[in-house]
Amino acid sequence: MPSHFPTNPTSTPTPNSDHPTSSSDNLNATRSPKTTPSEMWNYLWIPFLISLSKELSLAKAQSPILLPSQLGVGPSDSSSTRCTALDPKLNYRPVIGILSHPGDGASGRLSNASTASYIAASYVKFVESAGARVIPLIYNEPPDVLFQKLNLVNGVLFTGGWAKSGLYYDIVERIFQKIIEKNDAGDHFPLYATCLGFELLTMIISKNKEILESFSAENMASTLQFTENTIIEGTVFQRFPPDLLKKLSTDCIVMQNHHYGISPERLQENPNLSSFFKILTTSTDKDNKVYVSTVHAYSYPVTAFQWHPEKNVFEWGSPMIPHSEDAIQVTQHIANFLVSEARKSLNRPPVRKVLDNLIYNYSPTFCGKAGTGFDEVYIFTQPSLAHL
């Protein structure tokens, strides 16, 4: 077998013309000589240096994070150690109103009262995790009480559920109209609509109660695929770090749990919907059907999700709910955006009225032992006689 190392010409013996050579001598002369240890090192040190160079480059790229004082930009005098003044235009004590949903959230196991409604505690924790408090908007309480409560909050959240008709639909529609009016009057008043909430907005804005389509996306984690040329500035995704934005498209770190939705084609075909919402992301169901998963209003602080951002952190009933570190970051960024929008609200309600109507006046019920559904719910068995 020929040597894999090149032959050093200086080591090749030269035939002596004074001495005739035999055929065996000629054969030995044409063979490659043995490679010495020093010659082998000549071929090994090159890849070693290449590898070392790569490691040094990586170490340079991962240089330690330096504190301001280590960069020589520390405080120059005592006055610079004072805290930066807060923006007086922002409300640092925002309150979000969450609309209750018919039933007890546990298929009647906790309450079978006909007047019962509930709010899953995960929505409350979701809001609180970003620095806001919650006032429950009990859907079947007297309308004058409910809409007085609406004047105590700085934003609204519509939850998931199943109710698409009757009193609940009517109340959602009326609250949505009030939110539009508040924004048109100059108050930056955000709305988040999750799953059913998105479906109801689709029906209300399109003025078509039959517009929804069937999808097989119950109890599954999925990706989010950003639409082509999507501009995320000013949307719920604007503060996501680039690596997390990328993972949204490659990793199943959002939770889906719905049977209905709307395809991108149908949304774009409806002039009312297409002029109100821009599509940010789509997702694919178990049958590879594509549906709209996130939208943002063009002219209002209204964001709707077909998926459940609150579940990643605060629900444990299904093994399909993603709980990875990336999934937790998704929930936190989504919550932060809602509350950051609510801080822009001009509404400054009386402190005592807010305190009298906060969710803290109620106690959650643990229902997680059933192994399915919500872990905790707030149940409202009678219309509220709130202190207003």
* Terminal alpha carbon distance of the chain: 97
How far apart, in whole angstroms, are the C-alpha atoms of residue 351 and residue 342?
17
How far apart, in whole angstroms, are the C-alpha atoms of residue 104 and residue 233?
39
Strand partners, 204: none
The one-letter amino acid code at 319 reads: P
Q: Catalytic site residues?
A: 195, 308
Q: In this structure, what token pair is assigned to residue 40?
A: 């082998």
In the Cβ-directed half-sphere of 374, how many Cα atoms lie within 13 Å?
Answer: 28
The CA distances from residue 341 to 153, 201, 205, 276, 355, in Å, are 12, 19, 22, 19, 22
How far apart, in whole angstroms, are the C-alpha atoms of residue 366 and residue 280?
35
How far apart, in whole angstroms, are the C-alpha atoms of residue 257 and residue 317?
13
In the three-class reduction of DSSP (H, G, I as helix; E, B as strand; rest coil), residue 159 is classed as coil
Phi, psi of 244 (to 5 degrees): -75, -35
Instruction: Answer yes or no: are the C-beta atoms of 339 and 131 closer than 8 Å.
Output: yes
